[in-house]
Amino acid sequence: MGRITLDKVTKRFGEVEVIPPLDLTIDDGEFVVFVGPSGCGKSTLLRLIAGLEDVSSGQIRIDGEDATQAPPAKRKLAMVFQSYALYPHMSVRKNIAFPLRMAGIDKAEQDRRIENAAKVLNLTDYLERRPGQLSGGQRQRVAIGRAIVREPAAFLFDEPLSNLDAALRVGMRLEISELHERLKTTMIYVTHDQVEAMTMADKIVVLRAGNIEQVGSPLTLYREPRNLFVAGFIGSPK
Ligand code: ADP
Ligand code: MG
């Protein structure tokens, strides 16, 4: 579970083609990072996969099924937003439960999933607090918890750490990597930060103006950048 295939996917906003025909396969359990400069189409690509934007043409398959027209809730994917997307007036438990309540999942099953997520994220002692009573790192973990309880086929992260301070960012990177180790669920992680890409990814997708410049492991991109753009972006000489 968690294999995602894009086949000649394009996206136009009016006259502007933001994503030219793009092919990409993400394997089950992979940690894939989309990296590239601001405005290159990272968020758009992630939103197309999530179903938050419609493709202009092409096909998206999730675990072999055509999901191109499927609404977000039917895609078995969970988007992790920045921690400021939490509801300040609700407890941690209620914040985490929110997508399950929306999906009409019964209370006992909600509780089971919340306890599990809290255990994985070390939030068990904080379930009855409000987000305002937590540290920045704990709040980001609650945002991740809200995705975990949905038991998705893949997690989608759009620069989730960009509003955290540098020290916390380093810690959260380690936590997300550890979460991937534990769950072994596909993760797609968008960042403009080369260090994040190089340290977290199994596979890096380097984007420029909606085009894939290169796909490969961090070491491959470092040792064998296909062009100067990739070399410059990854920070190795060629
Ligand atoms: P990134 O996440 O890499 O910074 P985006 O995917 O947000 O880039 O944006 C890619 C390009 O698409 C940018 O030129 C942006 O202005 C444009 N774009 C994104 N969303 C919209 C939209 N809803 N309407 C029009 N243009 C958009
Ligand atoms: Mg973006």
pLDDT digits (tens, 9 = 90+) for 172-216: 999 999 999 999 999 999 999 898 999 999 999 999 999 999 999
Q: Which of 2-6, 39-43, 77-81 has the lowest mean pLDDT?
A: 77-81
Mean local confidence (pLDDT), 44-58: 97
**Cα-to-centroid distance, 34 and ligand 2 (Å):** 10
Task: Give the mean pLDDT of the chain.
Answer: 93
Give the residue whose CA is nearest to atom 7 of ligand 1.
43
More confident residue, 169 or 17: 17
Instruction: List all residues 6 or more positions away from 159 whose beta carbon is below 8 Å from its beta carbon.
Output: 82, 190, 191, 192
- What is the rounded CA–CA span in Å between residue 83 and residue 20? 32
Ligand at minimal distance from the CA of 45 is: 1
Token pair 């790192």 is found at: 137
Concatenate the DSSP letters of all residues of 159-178 into one string.
Answer: STTTTS-HHHHHHHHHHHHH
Residue nearest to atom 21 of ligand 1 (CA): 13
Pairwise CA distance, residues 114 & 149, whole Å: 6
Distance CA 120, CA 31 (A): 18
Q: Which amino acid, residue 108?
A: A
* Protein residues with CB under 6 Å of any ligand 1 atom: 13, 18, 36, 38-44
Alpha-carbon dihedral 38, 40, 42, 48, rounded to 10 degrees: 140
User: What are residue 158's DSSP bridge partners?
Assistant: 190
Residue pLDDT, tens place only, 121-174: 999 999 999 999 999 889 999 999 999 999 999 999 999 888 788 888 899 999
Name the residue of 9, 12, 13 whose CB sits within 8 Å of the most ligand 1 atoms, as the mutation to test its pocket.
13
Q: What is the pLDDT of residue 38?
A: 92
CA–centroid distance, 20 to ligand 1, in Å, is 13
Q: What is the predicted pLDDT for the residue at 167?
A: 87
Average pLDDT over residues 108-125: 95
pLDDT of 51 reads 97
The residues near 136 (Cβ < 8 Å, ≥ 6 apart) are 83, 164, 165, 168
